[in-house]
Structure 1
Amino acid sequence: MNISSLLSMISGLALAGGSAYVAKDYIEGQAVTGSPEGPALVEVVVASQDIAFGTALTAQSLTTISWPAEARPAGTFTSFDTLLPDTGKPPRRARRAIAQGELIRVSKVSNFGEKVTIVQTLKPDHRAMAIKVSAETAVGGFVTPGDSVDVLLTQGRGAGLKTVTILQNVRVIGVDQDANQETDQPGVARTVTVEVTPDEGQRLALAQRAGTLSLTLRNQEAAAEEVPLESISLNDVLRNVQVQQPEPAAEPARRTVLIRRGTEVSETEIR
């Protein structure tokens, strides 16, 4: 290979390398210039672990995550300063169960030192009322806070015994002294506290004095509307269905003749 050919090859390689470098810078510049800026982010406070109803908020139970500032939900917190108390001061508490990773919002936590009770979980214009129950009347102890039940009244004696459903789709807010809706362990209770309207509370109070109350557990995914139900009596349960017994078939008439042989008389059937 002569010197001129070698110089030509080196010049070509240098030109190609320079072109590639310029093209790379141009493409990267276009990408940076043309890419839109990301949304502005803000730090919001979330639960770092499950927080049960009534539990005090602590630094260990809270953390922060980045959230688009424009999409930040109302009532959220951006720092621990407004959530955690000063040294020696009473804490804020969870007004309802808060799951891990859930946003901490004003409606879910109490004020500093505020008492947290099941009253704060009631719907507007509703009341909390306790019912005396046993293992037999409370679905064997499988009723837990957060469940929905129907309330049945049984009264009377003997053949006059009857049962009627007086309330449907009633929310259970407490079992004995437990109002934690995360509870899933059954247990035999003596009282169950339910959420009722004032009118339902009056009916429930009368029903407790009139007879025995029983609870039936509803499917959480079932329709919530009430279905009219009539009362049922013991006679309805024990009603005997009369079954007509077929009459026996009549025997066909027999044809016979009498045969006399001297003093002896015999009867013979004619077939």
Structure 2
Amino acid sequence: MRTTSFLTFLAGLAVAGGSAYMVRDLMETKYAQVEAQACTNDLVKVVIATQDIPFGKVIDAGKLAVIDWPASALPPGAFTDPAALLPAAGTDPRRAKMALAKGDLLLASKVSGFGEKVTIVQSLGPNRRAIAINVTAETGVGGFVTPGDKVDVILTHGRSEDLKTVTIMQNIRVIGVDQDANADNDTPGIARTVTLEVTAEEGQRLALAQRAGTLSLALRTIENEDEPVLEAISLRDVLREPEPQDVAAPEEVTVRSVVVRRGVETTEDELR
């Protein structure tokens, strides 16, 4: 009797456990279906680049594709239809206003209007200017400066022992090297001019500094953008020579004398 009751208890426990597992699996499956349906309803179509599109290059159908994108994460200005990016027959195309990488979303801020001229102006920030400075292999970091890099500008002026140098600008963005404004171009080359993005005041300082001496560029790392302003140094600082001391002028000594006349003879004696 006891054995029968025990077996009946085990059978009931097994049935209850199996039922609980079945209910759990059913609920998980139903929840997953509902969640998948919800996700599907929240997706929109967006246009992306299927290859790198350099600055100023034409945007055509062969460089575009459409993918699903969460509607809640859709950025402003995103294109949802490739036709909006392609010109009508016989009309001028759109161009990239900045370099686009493969997989990037096509945004209104990154593409030009139909037939719009794309120049370096489109890459400037608000209230910014573009100014070019002359460089050589020595002053232009051996040609390793490319568009998109950040640099410091150093002015060297004076002659011989009066030679001085000072960092006049820090963390300035390079927007062009010679005639190249493509930020994806990382091929070194010896440039003759480098174009920098500056404020109006910085542009004035650069124009004046070019007349005052030699400008050199110092290539910066991506980190450590905030640094204290550097003080000017002279050739004496580099050579670790002490500054010349002012030599005191010798003290003037007042000499007093007395004139002695003896008959026709006259003598002058100093008083001590």
Structure 2 length normalisation: TM-score?
0.75
Work out the CA distance in 2 between the residues paired with 1:97 and 1:28: 50
In structure 2, the residue corresponding to 1:237 is in which secondary structure? helix
User: Aligned residue for 1:251?
Assistant: none
2:75 pairs with 1:38:
no
The alpha carbon displacement at 1:225 in A equals 1.9
Superposition CA RMSD, Å: 2.0
Max Rg structure: 1
Aligned partner of 1:180 among 173, 179, 182: 182
The alpha carbon displacement at 1:88 in A equals 1.3
Letter in 2 for 1:234: L
In structure 2, the residue corresponding to 1:119 is in which secondary structure? helix
User: Aligned residue for 1:76?
Assistant: 78
Aligned partner of 1:196 among 186, 195, 198: 198
The alpha carbon displacement at 1:231 in A equals 1.0
Q: Is the 8 A contact 1:52 1:94 kept in 2?
A: yes
Distance 1:28 1:136, change over 3 A: same
CA deviations 1:32-80 (Å, max 9, x no partner) are 5983123212211000111111111010000010123343222111111
Give the total of aligned pairs: 215
Work out the CA distance in 1 between the residues paired with 2:190 and 2:32: 67
User: Aligned residue for 1:50?
Assistant: 52
Aligned partner of 1:85 among 56, 80, 87: 87
2:223 pairs with 1:225:
no
Work out the CA distance in 2 between the residues paired with 1:75 and 1:127: 26
User: Aligned residue for 2:251?
Assistant: none
Q: Which residues in structure 2 correspond to 1:1-271 (within 5 Å)?
A: 31=29, 35-36=33-34, 37-39=37-39, 40=41, 41-221=43-223, 223-240=224-241
Distance 1:140 1:32, change over 3 A: same
Where structure 1 has 5 or more consecutive residues not aligned to the other structure, the ranges are 1-23, 242-271
User: Percent identity of the aligned residues?
Assistant: 60
Work out the CA distance in 2 between the residues paired with 1:227 and 1:174: 26
Distance 1:111 1:209, change over 3 A: same
CA deviations 1:95-137 (Å, max 9, x no partner) are 1111111110111100001111111111111100000000010
Distance 1:138 1:30, change over 3 A: closer
In structure 1, the residue corresponding to 2:153 is in which secondary structure? strand
Work out the CA distance in 2 between the residues paired with 1:155 and 1:30: 76
The alpha carbon displacement at 1:28 in A equals 7.4
Work out the CA distance in 1 between the residues paired with 2:232 and 2:115: 49
In structure 2, the residue corresponding to 1:136 is in which secondary structure? coil
Work out the CA distance in 2 between the residues paired with 1:237 and 1:29: 77
Work out the CA distance in 2 between the residues paired with 1:55 and 1:119: 15
The alpha carbon displacement at 1:172 in A equals 0.3
CA deviations 1:172-193 (Å, max 9, x no partner) are 0000000000111110000000
In structure 2, the residue corresponding to 1:159 is in which secondary structure? helix
